[in-house]
Structure 1
């Protein structure tokens, strides 16, 4: 049986050919002769309780000048697809949440959505780390400026960041005696009306902010260390960091072991852990990147590993349905 796989993503015409992880996934799916269907967020809708979308059959190419072809779009039920990759980039806002509600209607009819919709909503990429305190640096989640200042007084060198940021945006390092502490907290918390995160600064950021990819709760054996530019404290590639592939350390593997079972239980099949030094700092569940960079450094087929995992999940579901049907007869 040919697997029908849909992808919900931002415009494919605007992706970075050499870096885009969604494109790597689509190459791997097409290599298995799966049928690809393309949707942008605005193409999805609910009609009389049925999840539908205007979707186009998609063909992808290994060509930096012309990497895709779309056929004429047709309106179909999302439940006609075996699997849907939810790959819309953040921001994680109300529109993103509404998309998960539409996709969830297809989930209820048996379509596999990667990652599972309720977990996308429940697992804030910064707050989720607090469920694994043994892996994290000292941190505080609060909107109370006095409490945040007390945390800074205790640790002296602190990172303050919003809970809904991406790409290193609005992340502040505040060292001991910084006269800008009050104004930074005023801006980030909107004078105590918005909750933020404070983390003790991790000096090992100079060696890279490591992105460890997780497939069905298991770590890929290589990670991407994103090394900050000179004078920067952010390793994010969007903030100018330089990527470097490297094997996982024993500590990286231990952190992955701590987090993996929860990811598997929550249906978070493809996730990116951010690790600085010995500490987990974020768990990226919405649209993790890094596949192409790690593949080039390691000769791994990460997109293929993910597709094999998806195929295995679909087989297990089919077998379970067969067993259930046999019991009903």
Structure 2
């Protein structure tokens, strides 16, 4: 089986904690032919989507860091349709041009995640679409460029605390926690986020979910099923629990409500071709979806007695591949 990873440059991989590297090694360990390339190495020639692929050649080892450091590459220009499965692991935000090119072959190659699904779900607007106004799945959410509408939203819903964050943020960057008593600072913060590029950008205002100060739960959902989870705990003095923002991971066993909530969300994800996703929960509410290069593999394995969740991920995706080929 031929597998390709569309990802960041190899020298940007952090081998001690990189989820993509664990997925790559799992595929190599299964005897698959694995290649990688970056989005800048994809082109269209004579109506075909091609790329400058680097086939991975490594020595056998159980250690991921050694696996990474010993890697050698064989470069070749190939047609994307020569591959059976393509993992989309480039860092967000997604490049629209990349989606335009790869969508041309979406019916010929199995993508994780599906290109049309990434186009639909690669932003925080998709997560907000689960808002039914009753906080059944997500906290009450407003996405807007209108500062007055944000103020009205906060006042009408009588929020004691609320979150402001940029629409294109990741890793907890740009998330600001407000209390009702400090609402006087709202206009200046919102004005900065909306207008800092010179072109008005929408931002997210979201009800603060009680318990967020204790951390959030990152659930790994594959084919619509939750297969693992960790609790991410904020660093001292920080409200953000993202590990990239200094948070840490501890073991978390999903309760029945969380499992059913993830299955409800997962049903829609699966229908949209999002087969591998990170779902973030706080106090039984979904606060974010990571459909582009979801992580969490390394901390999950570490807090669960070195369980190898990448095996479960690849197993499940191979089952979905069989459906694709049928």
TM-score when scaled to structure 1? 0.89
SS in 1 for 2:239: coil
Q: Deviations over 1:253-296 (max 9, x none)?
A: 12202111111111111100011122101111011100121122
Equivalent residue, structure 2, for 1:149: 151
TM-score, normalisation: structure 2: 0.90
The answer on 1:103 being equivalent to 2:105 is no
* Contact kept? 1:139, 1:197, Cα under 8 Å: yes
- Give the counterpart of 2:45 among 36, 44, 47: 47
Report Cα offsets for 1:170-202 as digits up to 9, x if no partner: 111111221321101111222993211111112
The residue that corresponds to 1:325 in the other structure is none
Structure 1 runs not aligned, ≥5 long:
321-329
Deviation at 1:66, TM superposition (A): 5.3
1:246 alignment counterpart: 252
1:63 deviates by 4.4
Instruction: Give, in angstroms, the shift of residue 128 of structure 1.
Output: 1.6
- Please state how far the C-alpha of 1:65 moved relative to its aligned partner: 4.8
Query: Unpaired segments of 5 or more residues in structure 2?
Result: none
Please, what is the CA RMSD of the aligned residues? Answer: 1.8
Contact 1:143–1:196 (CA<8 Å) still a contact in 2? yes
CA–CA distance in 2 between the matches of 1:232 and 1:188? 20
Determine helix, strand or coil for the equivalent of 2:3.
strand
Q: Take 2:254 and 2:123, find their aligned partners in 1: how far apart are those partners?
A: 21
Equivalent pairs, count: 312
1:126 and 1:281 in contact (8 A); partners too: no
Determine the C-alpha separation between the residues in 1 that align with 2:216 and 2:324: 37
Q: Is the counterpart of residue 226 in structure 1 residue 232 in structure 2?
A: yes
Distance 1:139 1:44, change over 3 A: same
Question: 2:319 — aligned with what?
Answer: 312
Given that 1:132 and 1:258 are in contact with CA atoms closer than 8 Å, whether structure 2 keeps it comes out as no
Structure 1 residues 196-205 or 309-318, which shifts more? 309-318
Distance 2:4 2:80 in 1: 8
User: For the residues of structure 1 that align with 2:4 and 2:40, how far apart are their CA atoms?
Assistant: 15
